[in-house]
Structure 1
Amino acid sequence: MDMTARQRASQALAAHLPQLAGVALRELGQGLDNTAFLAADLVLRVAADHSVTREASLLEVVAPRVSTPVPRTCFVDDDAGVLAYPLLPGRPLLNRTPARGVARTLGLFLRELHDIDTAMVDQLVPVEDAGPSEWLEDLDGPADCLRLLRASVPRPARRRVLAHADLGAEHILEQDGSITGVIDWSDAAITDPALDFARLYRDFGEDFLLESLRAYGGLDDGDDALARITFFARCAALEDLSFGREHRRNDYLQAAERSLGWLFPSATR
């Protein structure tokens, strides 16, 4: 019989830190690919169907090369699909208004991340084309929004960088106006840098996006990059809309519905 995510987390905790065996697990959150639990001050992230060893190795490469904190692995159990790390301070920015300066901090963080030599991680993360047309496959949402997307498919990017590739508000921790961590690197890939700006646009709007791009130094392909960022942001908003409805996650649903206002201003919803 397949074990639940909670059972896998408990088993891994007992195996690696027996002194914490039996500690109550509190669920922190659940997404498409992971479920996270808290045991004392330790986060146990249980993966649905991917290796966590490579993610742990990736974090070892990233951590000393960026100024924003990322998880520091305590233990990895690939058989159970559990990655454990000390709890970072702060709360996710999902459905919260970021403080002044956060956009600049994230732009600088992305500059550091994207400057990492991809040869250092090409055995740890996939190389993905991020072809815009592929994002339309199985995408659901309001008909007017889908029509707009199909009519505005941008050209693929030529440049590839190490990207977080899921840099949404739910994965950005903030406390007292400062970014305290970027979590959940399970979707990291060598791919289009526009992907890392798309969810910032989706979750925080155009002014936030432009400020983060200024801090980053701008993307080389200008208008083409903005077209891809907008396209990916719109797709990601519809994905979260579907996820919120299917899993009855009002936090995701509310965030997605709000972002449709600036991403699809002329569409009828």
Structure 2
Amino acid sequence: MRERALRALRAHVPELADVAVTELGRGLDNTAFLAGGLVLRVAEAATVRREAALLDALAGRVSLPVPAVRFADAKTGVLAFPLLPGRPLLGRPAPAALAEPVGRFLRELHAIEPTEVHGLVPVEDADPAEWLEDLDGPPELLDRLHAEVPAPAPRRVLAHADLGAEHILERDGTVTGVIDWTDAAVTDPALDFARLYRDFGAGFLAAVLDAYGGPTDPAFGERVVFFARCAALEDIAYGVPEYVRAAQRFLSGDDNVSDDPAEGVQAWDA
């Protein structure tokens, strides 16, 4: 990964070829490095140009900052953009003041016509039943998930689809960026609320939803809860300590998330 980042850096920004390159972090799909204020995200080569085109399409269409592409090298699989200020909210509570701008951002994102990003992101059903395949965890929770599988969403929107605390940057009570658009898709809008619920609780999510304009369909809340539980189990299986601790807090009912996660979102479906 580092060698690919260095090759792309030498080819596109030779003036930074001799600066120190440090690893910022890694996920399931990519590894990010920092070189002289430039983020170099190394992922699958086939996705780099599509993600760069998506970010260009989002520029000026949403009110929260997204990465501004410096270059996209499909040969090495490197996407480069200037480092955004702030740090991820992973492991930290979200200031209440962030709910309104996040809700507004999601309203703007979901209003973009899927035809405008045709060919840049996949179209996914996000069938809740498919999320249970190979999912592991406490038997009582798995039994509950299998017994309460909601129906798929009646409509699809352009979604970030991985909007967890690790992908929201914050500084001094302000959202400074929404990063990592690798999983963006035309899919169930509930996916963009599920990880917010998992990471910040029902109160924060209710405020986000108020700014968004309310639920998108009658079973919206059921799918948010279902996807949040599944995502928490996936993070535990992923094994990174910070992710595991956050997921366990959610599943245990800590951090302002009720023992019954459906409580607090039932009103959304009214």
Q: Which TM-score applies when normalising by structure 2?
A: 0.93
* SS in structure 1 at match of 2:40: strand
Equivalent residue for 1:265, pick from 232, 243, 259: 259
Alignment-derived partner of residue 16 in structure 2:
20
Q: Which amino acid aligns with 1:12?
A: A
Shift of the alpha carbon at 1:220? Answer: 2.8
Alignment-derived partner of residue 66 in structure 1:
62
- The superposition leaves residues 203-240 of structure 1 with CA deviations (integer Å, 9 ceiling, x where unpaired) of 00111111111110012313x00000000000000000
- The superposition leaves residues 90-142 of structure 1 with CA deviations (integer Å, 9 ceiling, x where unpaired) of 00000111112111111110000000111110111000000000000111111
Tell me the percent identity.
62
Equivalent residue for 2:245, pick from 231, 241, 254: 254
- d(CA) in 1 for partners of 2:9, 2:39: 10
Whether the aligned pair in 2 keeps the contact of 1:33 and 1:49 (CA below 8 Å) is no
- d(CA) in 2 for partners of 1:101, 1:121: 31
| Structure 2 unaligned residues grouped into runs of 5+ | 262-270
Shift of the alpha carbon at 1:158? Answer: 1.1
- The superposition leaves residues 160-197 of structure 1 with CA deviations (integer Å, 9 ceiling, x where unpaired) of 10000000000000000000000000100000100000
2:66 is equivalent to residue 75 of structure 1:
no
Distance 1:33 1:184, change over 3 A: same
Alignment-derived partner of residue 235 in structure 1:
230
Alignment-derived partner of residue 214 in structure 2:
218
Shift of the alpha carbon at 1:25? Answer: 1.1
Alignment-derived partner of residue 43 in structure 1:
39
Equivalent residue for 2:185, pick from 179, 184, 189: 189
Whether the aligned pair in 1 keeps the contact of 2:45 and 2:75 (CA below 8 Å) is no
Alignment-derived partner of residue 199 in structure 1:
195
Alignment-derived partner of residue 139 in structure 1:
135
Shift of the alpha carbon at 1:264? Answer: 8.3
Whether the aligned pair in 2 keeps the contact of 1:145 and 1:264 (CA below 8 Å) is no
How many pairs are equivalent? 258
| Structure 1 unaligned residues grouped into runs of 5+ | none
Distance 1:257 1:35, change over 3 A: same
**1:82-101 alignment runs, 5 A limit:** 82-101=78-97
Q: Which TM-score applies when normalising by structure 1?
A: 0.93
Shift of the alpha carbon at 1:48? Answer: 4.2
